[in-house]
Amino acid sequence: MTTSNANQHKRTTVEGVGGNRYEEGRVDAVFDVLSDARRRRVVRVLRDHGDATPVSDLAAALAVREPGEHEPERLTVSLRHVHLPKLEATGVVEMVDDGAAVRYGDAPLVETLLEQV
């Protein structure tokens, strides 16, 4: 029995902005996390704010930007349990103050992708 190279996973790198190199899995993870419109809005709000932002303030800012969503409390739950953990796992954001606030990670790869969508 022979094994096929098609089933073997190789770690490869891809060229990023300014000659930075990224592991291909990271690129895929960032694409995945930014595929959701709410997470893109989260990144843009945090990027514009600049400092660590309380999750409740982030939810209030999103409620203004999302049509039909006027309940910051529901957004806070969604952020804490779905969106922020995914963004944090890829290094796009950092939770601070024991999870009470969040800060954008200022990632060049994210910036490049956000310019395209």
Q: Could you tell me which of 68, 71, 41, 36 has the C-alpha nearest to residue 53?
A: 41
Q: Could you tell me which of 110, 89, 112, 116 has the C-alpha nearest to residue 46?
A: 110
Task: Break the chain into its structural domains and give their ranges.
Answer: 38-117
The pLDDT tens digits along the chain (117 residues) read 444 444 444 444 444 434 444 465 677 888 889 899 999 999 999 998 888 999 999 999 999 888 776 788 889 999 999 999 999 999 999 999 988 999 998 777 787 887 776
For the domain made up of 38-117, give the CATH fold: Arc Repressor Mutant, subunit A (1.10.10)
